[in-house]
Amino acid sequence: MTERSWSFRRVATTGRAPLTSLGIPFGLSGLAGTWTMAVATLHTPPEVGEALWLLALIVWVLAIGNYLVRSHNRGGRILGDIDDSIQGPFASLAPTTGMLIGAHFAADYPLVARPLILVCIALVLVLGSRFLAQLAVRENNLDAVHAGYLLPTVAAFLIAGQSAAILGWPEAGMAGVGVGLLFWVILGTIILGRTAFRHALPAPLRPTFAIWSAPPAVAGNAWFAVNGGRLDTMQHLLVGTFVLLIGVQLAMIVTYWRLSFTLGFWAFTFTAASSGTYAMHWLDLAEAPGEQAWGLLILAAVTLLIGSIAVRSVYLMVSAHAASLRGDGRPAPVRAS
Protein backbone atom coordinates (compact mmCIF):
# COMPACT_ATOMS: atom_id res chain seq x y z
CA MET A 1 0.00 0.00 0.00
CA THR A 2 1.38 3.41 -0.97
CA GLU A 3 1.84 6.25 1.48
CA ARG A 4 -0.89 8.35 -0.09
CA SER A 5 -3.46 5.53 -0.16
CA TRP A 6 -2.68 4.84 3.49
CA SER A 7 -3.35 8.47 4.35
CA PHE A 8 -6.78 8.37 2.72
CA ARG A 9 -7.63 4.97 4.20
CA ARG A 10 -6.67 6.10 7.71
CA VAL A 11 -9.17 8.97 7.56
CA ALA A 12 -11.84 6.70 6.11
CA THR A 13 -11.53 3.92 8.67
CA THR A 14 -11.27 6.11 11.76
CA GLY A 15 -13.85 8.77 10.91
CA ARG A 16 -11.42 11.50 11.90
CA ALA A 17 -11.66 15.00 10.49
CA PRO A 18 -9.12 15.64 7.71
CA LEU A 19 -6.83 18.64 8.00
CA THR A 20 -8.03 19.66 4.54
CA SER A 21 -11.28 20.77 6.20
CA LEU A 22 -9.32 23.80 7.46
CA GLY A 23 -9.42 25.05 3.88
CA ILE A 24 -13.06 26.05 4.35
CA PRO A 25 -12.49 29.04 6.67
CA PHE A 26 -9.33 29.85 4.69
CA GLY A 27 -11.39 30.22 1.53
CA LEU A 28 -14.12 32.18 3.28
CA SER A 29 -11.58 34.63 4.69
CA GLY A 30 -10.23 35.08 1.18
CA LEU A 31 -13.73 35.89 -0.11
CA ALA A 32 -14.23 38.32 2.77
CA GLY A 33 -10.97 40.03 1.81
CA THR A 34 -12.13 40.37 -1.79
CA TRP A 35 -15.38 42.04 -0.69
CA THR A 36 -13.41 44.33 1.64
CA MET A 37 -11.25 45.39 -1.31
CA ALA A 38 -14.42 45.95 -3.33
CA VAL A 39 -15.58 48.49 -0.76
CA ALA A 40 -12.52 50.63 -1.48
CA THR A 41 -12.39 50.14 -5.24
CA LEU A 42 -16.02 49.56 -6.30
CA HIS A 43 -17.87 51.25 -3.39
CA THR A 44 -19.87 48.13 -2.60
CA PRO A 45 -21.78 47.89 0.71
CA PRO A 46 -19.28 47.26 3.55
CA GLU A 47 -21.83 45.14 5.41
CA VAL A 48 -21.32 42.23 3.00
CA GLY A 49 -17.60 42.03 3.71
CA GLU A 50 -18.10 42.36 7.46
CA ALA A 51 -20.70 39.59 7.43
CA LEU A 52 -18.29 37.35 5.52
CA TRP A 53 -15.47 38.09 7.99
CA LEU A 54 -17.76 37.14 10.86
CA LEU A 55 -18.77 33.95 9.05
CA ALA A 56 -15.11 33.12 8.41
CA LEU A 57 -14.32 33.62 12.10
CA ILE A 58 -17.17 31.34 13.20
CA VAL A 59 -16.32 28.62 10.67
CA TRP A 60 -12.61 28.87 11.61
CA VAL A 61 -13.39 28.19 15.27
CA LEU A 62 -15.79 25.37 14.37
CA ALA A 63 -13.36 23.74 11.91
CA ILE A 64 -10.52 23.71 14.44
CA GLY A 65 -12.86 22.46 17.18
CA ASN A 66 -14.26 19.74 14.92
CA TYR A 67 -10.79 18.53 14.02
CA LEU A 68 -9.57 18.48 17.63
CA VAL A 69 -12.69 16.76 19.01
CA ARG A 70 -12.91 14.14 16.29
CA SER A 71 -9.19 13.43 16.46
CA HIS A 72 -9.35 13.00 20.24
CA ASN A 73 -12.47 10.85 20.17
CA ARG A 74 -11.16 8.61 17.38
CA GLY A 75 -7.76 7.97 18.94
CA GLY A 76 -5.91 10.48 16.83
CA ARG A 77 -2.44 11.87 17.25
CA ILE A 78 -2.10 15.47 16.12
CA LEU A 79 1.65 15.32 15.56
CA GLY A 80 1.14 12.27 13.38
CA ASP A 81 -1.28 14.24 11.22
CA ILE A 82 1.06 17.23 11.04
CA ASP A 83 3.93 15.02 9.88
CA ASP A 84 1.80 13.13 7.35
CA SER A 85 3.11 13.75 3.82
CA ILE A 86 -0.41 14.13 2.40
CA GLN A 87 -2.48 15.80 5.11
CA GLY A 88 0.29 17.53 7.06
CA PRO A 89 0.79 20.67 4.96
CA PHE A 90 -2.85 21.67 5.49
CA ALA A 91 -2.28 22.10 9.26
CA SER A 92 -0.77 25.51 8.55
CA LEU A 93 -4.17 26.74 7.38
CA ALA A 94 -5.30 27.09 11.00
CA PRO A 95 -2.81 29.84 11.97
CA THR A 96 -2.75 31.30 8.44
CA THR A 97 -6.51 31.90 8.55
CA GLY A 98 -6.10 33.29 12.06
CA MET A 99 -3.65 35.88 10.74
CA LEU A 100 -6.08 36.99 8.03
CA ILE A 101 -8.94 37.30 10.50
CA GLY A 102 -6.78 39.04 13.09
CA ALA A 103 -5.43 41.53 10.54
CA HIS A 104 -8.94 42.51 9.53
CA PHE A 105 -10.15 43.07 13.09
CA ALA A 106 -6.88 44.61 14.37
CA ALA A 107 -8.06 48.20 13.96
CA ASP A 108 -11.35 47.73 15.85
CA TYR A 109 -10.31 45.09 18.40
CA PRO A 110 -6.54 45.49 18.87
CA LEU A 111 -6.39 43.91 22.34
CA VAL A 112 -7.66 40.63 20.90
CA ALA A 113 -6.57 40.74 17.28
CA ARG A 114 -2.93 41.76 17.72
CA PRO A 115 -2.07 38.94 20.19
CA LEU A 116 -3.93 36.53 17.90
CA ILE A 117 -1.73 37.55 14.97
CA LEU A 118 1.46 37.19 17.02
CA VAL A 119 0.45 33.71 18.24
CA CYS A 120 -0.44 32.66 14.70
CA ILE A 121 2.87 33.97 13.32
CA ALA A 122 4.69 31.93 15.97
CA LEU A 123 2.69 28.83 15.01
CA VAL A 124 3.48 29.41 11.34
CA LEU A 125 7.19 29.53 12.18
CA VAL A 126 6.92 26.28 14.15
CA LEU A 127 4.87 24.44 11.55
CA GLY A 128 6.98 25.71 8.65
CA SER A 129 10.21 24.74 10.37
CA ARG A 130 8.89 21.30 11.28
CA PHE A 131 7.61 20.71 7.76
CA LEU A 132 10.98 21.54 6.19
CA ALA A 133 12.83 19.51 8.82
CA GLN A 134 10.68 16.47 8.02
CA LEU A 135 11.55 16.86 4.34
CA ALA A 136 15.22 16.79 5.32
CA VAL A 137 15.28 13.86 7.75
CA ARG A 138 12.72 11.33 6.55
CA GLU A 139 12.58 9.18 3.44
CA ASN A 140 10.16 10.95 1.12
CA ASN A 141 8.22 9.72 -1.88
CA LEU A 142 8.10 12.16 -4.79
CA ASP A 143 4.66 10.84 -5.75
CA ALA A 144 3.31 12.15 -2.42
CA VAL A 145 4.26 15.73 -3.28
CA HIS A 146 1.35 18.05 -4.13
CA ALA A 147 0.78 21.79 -4.37
CA GLY A 148 -0.42 21.87 -0.78
CA TYR A 149 3.30 21.89 0.10
CA LEU A 150 3.19 25.60 -0.72
CA LEU A 151 0.83 26.28 2.20
CA PRO A 152 3.21 26.04 5.21
CA THR A 153 6.19 27.44 3.30
CA VAL A 154 4.87 30.08 0.88
CA ALA A 155 1.28 31.13 1.62
CA ALA A 156 1.77 31.14 5.40
CA PHE A 157 4.88 33.33 5.30
CA LEU A 158 3.53 35.72 2.68
CA ILE A 159 0.42 36.26 4.81
CA ALA A 160 2.60 36.54 7.92
CA GLY A 161 4.48 39.33 6.16
CA GLN A 162 1.24 41.00 5.16
CA SER A 163 -0.09 40.78 8.73
CA ALA A 164 3.14 42.16 10.19
CA ALA A 165 2.98 45.13 7.81
CA ILE A 166 -0.62 45.80 8.80
CA LEU A 167 0.47 45.85 12.44
CA GLY A 168 3.02 48.53 11.56
CA TRP A 169 6.16 46.42 11.16
CA PRO A 170 7.15 46.80 7.47
CA GLU A 171 10.63 45.34 8.00
CA ALA A 172 9.13 42.15 9.42
CA GLY A 173 6.69 42.23 6.54
CA MET A 174 9.56 42.28 4.03
CA ALA A 175 11.17 39.34 5.83
CA GLY A 176 7.97 37.29 5.58
CA VAL A 177 7.56 38.10 1.90
CA GLY A 178 11.23 37.16 1.32
CA VAL A 179 10.74 33.73 2.87
CA GLY A 180 7.59 33.13 0.87
CA LEU A 181 9.22 34.10 -2.43
CA LEU A 182 12.26 31.92 -1.75
CA PHE A 183 10.24 28.77 -1.16
CA TRP A 184 7.86 29.60 -4.00
CA VAL A 185 10.83 29.30 -6.36
CA ILE A 186 12.20 26.15 -4.70
CA LEU A 187 9.04 24.14 -4.05
CA GLY A 188 7.07 25.50 -6.99
CA THR A 189 9.71 24.04 -9.32
CA ILE A 190 9.63 20.66 -7.56
CA ILE A 191 5.82 20.52 -7.66
CA LEU A 192 5.70 21.32 -11.36
CA GLY A 193 8.36 18.66 -12.05
CA ARG A 194 6.45 16.06 -10.02
CA THR A 195 3.18 16.94 -11.77
CA ALA A 196 4.75 16.85 -15.22
CA PHE A 197 6.88 13.72 -15.00
CA ARG A 198 5.33 11.41 -12.39
CA HIS A 199 2.02 9.60 -12.01
CA ALA A 200 -1.11 11.74 -11.86
CA LEU A 201 -2.27 12.84 -8.43
CA PRO A 202 -5.19 10.87 -6.96
CA ALA A 203 -8.52 12.54 -7.71
CA PRO A 204 -9.09 13.96 -4.17
CA LEU A 205 -5.77 15.83 -4.38
CA ARG A 206 -6.02 17.00 -7.98
CA PRO A 207 -7.78 20.29 -7.07
CA THR A 208 -4.77 21.23 -4.94
CA PHE A 209 -2.93 22.14 -8.14
CA ALA A 210 -4.95 25.36 -8.04
CA ILE A 211 -2.75 26.37 -5.10
CA TRP A 212 0.26 26.31 -7.44
CA SER A 213 -1.08 29.46 -9.14
CA ALA A 214 -1.79 31.41 -5.95
CA PRO A 215 1.67 32.78 -4.95
CA PRO A 216 1.84 35.78 -7.34
CA ALA A 217 -1.48 37.15 -6.11
CA VAL A 218 -0.78 36.37 -2.44
CA ALA A 219 2.69 37.91 -2.72
CA GLY A 220 1.27 40.93 -4.52
CA ASN A 221 -1.36 41.53 -1.85
CA ALA A 222 1.29 41.14 0.85
CA TRP A 223 3.61 43.57 -0.92
CA PHE A 224 0.83 46.15 -1.22
CA ALA A 225 0.58 46.00 2.58
CA VAL A 226 4.35 46.41 2.91
CA ASN A 227 4.85 49.26 0.42
CA GLY A 228 1.76 51.26 1.34
CA GLY A 229 -0.37 50.21 -1.62
CA ARG A 230 1.77 51.51 -4.49
CA LEU A 231 2.65 50.13 -7.91
CA ASP A 232 6.39 49.57 -8.00
CA THR A 233 8.98 47.32 -9.64
CA MET A 234 8.06 44.34 -7.48
CA GLN A 235 4.41 44.60 -8.46
CA HIS A 236 5.27 44.81 -12.14
CA LEU A 237 7.43 41.70 -11.80
CA LEU A 238 4.61 39.81 -10.07
CA VAL A 239 1.74 40.78 -12.33
CA GLY A 240 3.13 39.06 -15.42
CA THR A 241 3.52 35.77 -13.57
CA PHE A 242 0.07 36.29 -12.06
CA VAL A 243 -1.55 36.57 -15.49
CA LEU A 244 0.28 33.49 -16.82
CA LEU A 245 -0.56 31.25 -13.86
CA ILE A 246 -4.22 32.26 -13.85
CA GLY A 247 -4.21 31.35 -17.54
CA VAL A 248 -2.90 27.89 -16.56
CA GLN A 249 -5.87 27.38 -14.25
CA LEU A 250 -8.34 28.55 -16.89
CA ALA A 251 -6.80 26.07 -19.34
CA MET A 252 -7.46 23.27 -16.81
CA ILE A 253 -11.16 23.98 -16.29
CA VAL A 254 -12.20 20.93 -18.31
CA THR A 255 -9.88 18.72 -16.23
CA TYR A 256 -11.33 20.04 -12.99
CA TRP A 257 -14.89 19.80 -14.28
CA ARG A 258 -14.55 16.05 -14.77
CA LEU A 259 -13.63 15.45 -11.12
CA SER A 260 -16.17 14.28 -8.57
CA PHE A 261 -16.89 16.98 -6.03
CA THR A 262 -15.14 16.72 -2.65
CA LEU A 263 -14.24 19.16 0.09
CA GLY A 264 -10.85 19.30 -1.60
CA PHE A 265 -12.43 21.76 -4.05
CA TRP A 266 -11.91 24.42 -1.37
CA ALA A 267 -8.34 24.49 -2.71
CA PHE A 268 -9.74 26.64 -5.53
CA THR A 269 -11.26 29.22 -3.23
CA PHE A 270 -8.33 31.11 -1.77
CA THR A 271 -6.54 31.15 -5.11
CA ALA A 272 -9.65 32.66 -6.69
CA ALA A 273 -10.22 35.15 -3.87
CA SER A 274 -6.61 36.33 -3.56
CA SER A 275 -6.43 36.68 -7.35
CA GLY A 276 -9.66 38.69 -7.39
CA THR A 277 -8.38 40.99 -4.64
CA TYR A 278 -5.06 41.48 -6.43
CA ALA A 279 -6.72 42.17 -9.77
CA MET A 280 -9.08 44.77 -8.26
CA HIS A 281 -6.16 46.47 -6.53
CA TRP A 282 -4.36 46.71 -9.87
CA LEU A 283 -7.46 47.99 -11.68
CA ASP A 284 -7.83 50.74 -9.10
CA LEU A 285 -4.21 51.89 -9.02
CA ALA A 286 -3.67 51.65 -12.77
CA GLU A 287 -6.94 53.52 -13.44
CA ALA A 288 -7.74 50.96 -16.11
CA PRO A 289 -10.48 51.69 -18.66
CA GLY A 290 -13.75 50.09 -17.60
CA GLU A 291 -12.44 49.64 -14.06
CA GLN A 292 -15.91 49.51 -12.49
CA ALA A 293 -17.28 46.98 -14.98
CA TRP A 294 -14.20 44.74 -14.81
CA GLY A 295 -14.15 44.95 -11.03
CA LEU A 296 -17.80 43.95 -10.71
CA LEU A 297 -17.24 41.07 -13.13
CA ILE A 298 -14.28 39.82 -11.07
CA LEU A 299 -16.21 40.17 -7.81
CA ALA A 300 -19.19 38.29 -9.25
CA ALA A 301 -17.01 35.48 -10.63
CA VAL A 302 -15.15 34.98 -7.33
CA THR A 303 -18.36 35.08 -5.30
CA LEU A 304 -20.16 32.66 -7.64
CA LEU A 305 -17.28 30.18 -7.59
CA ILE A 306 -16.85 30.16 -3.81
CA GLY A 307 -20.58 30.31 -3.18
CA SER A 308 -21.21 27.29 -5.40
CA ILE A 309 -18.45 25.32 -3.65
CA ALA A 310 -19.96 26.26 -0.26
CA VAL A 311 -23.46 25.13 -1.32
CA ARG A 312 -22.19 21.84 -2.71
CA SER A 313 -20.11 21.29 0.44
CA VAL A 314 -23.17 21.68 2.65
CA TYR A 315 -25.07 19.22 0.46
CA LEU A 316 -22.15 16.78 0.55
CA MET A 317 -21.84 16.92 4.35
CA VAL A 318 -25.60 16.57 4.87
CA SER A 319 -25.68 13.59 2.51
CA ALA A 320 -22.69 12.01 4.27
CA HIS A 321 -24.33 12.49 7.66
CA ALA A 322 -27.58 10.96 6.41
CA ALA A 323 -25.67 8.02 4.97
CA SER A 324 -23.91 7.42 8.28
CA LEU A 325 -27.26 7.43 10.11
CA ARG A 326 -28.62 4.90 7.62
CA GLY A 327 -25.49 2.80 8.07
CA ASP A 328 -25.27 2.07 4.36
CA GLY A 329 -21.48 1.88 4.47
CA ARG A 330 -20.66 4.70 2.11
CA PRO A 331 -17.13 6.01 2.79
CA ALA A 332 -18.24 9.60 3.44
CA PRO A 333 -15.05 10.64 5.27
CA VAL A 334 -12.93 9.84 2.16
CA ARG A 335 -14.93 12.38 0.18
CA ALA A 336 -14.12 14.93 2.83
CA SER A 337 -10.42 14.46 2.23
CA-based angle 23:29:32, to the nearest 5? 145
Ramachandran region, residue 188 (left: φ > 0; alpha: ψ -120 to 50; beta: rest): alpha
pLDDT at 74: 54
pLDDT at 335: 41
pLDDT at 16: 63
pLDDT at 288: 80
Q: Return the amino acid letter for 85.
A: S
The rounded distance, in Å, linking the Cα atoms of 117 and 101 is 8
CA nearest neighbour of 19 among 74, 71, 58, 73: 71
DSSP state string for 2-28:
-HHHHHHHHHHHHTPPPGGGGHHHHHH
pLDDT at 328: 55
Tens of pLDDT, residue by residue over 188-226, are: 999 999 999 998 888 888 999 999 999 999 999 999 999
pLDDT at 203: 86
Helix/strand/coil (H/E/C) assignment for every residue in 201-243: CCHHHHHHHHHHHCHHHHHHHHHHHHHCCCCCHHHHHHHHHHH
Residue range 16-335 in CATH 1.50.10.150? yes
Reported residue count of the chain is 337
Break the chain into its structural domains and give their ranges. 16-335
Contact between 263 and 296 (Cβ < 8 Å): no
* Residue partners of 128: CB distance under 8 A and separation at least 6: 92, 152, 153, 156, 157
Contact between 260 and 203 (Cβ < 8 Å): yes
Tens of pLDDT, residue by residue over 269-283, are: 999 999 999 999 999
Cα separation values, 121 from 128, 156, 163, Å: 10, 8, 9
Q: Return the amino acid letter for 226.
A: V
Tens of pLDDT, residue by residue over 66-100, are: 898 877 655 567 888 888 888 899 999 999 999 99
Contact between 226 and 177 (Cβ < 8 Å): yes
Q: Return the amino acid letter for 261.
A: F
Give the residue ranges of the chain where pLDDT is below 70: 1-16, 72-76, 321, 324-337
Q: At residue 146, what are phi and psi to the nearest 5 degrees?
A: -145, 170
pLDDT at 324: 66
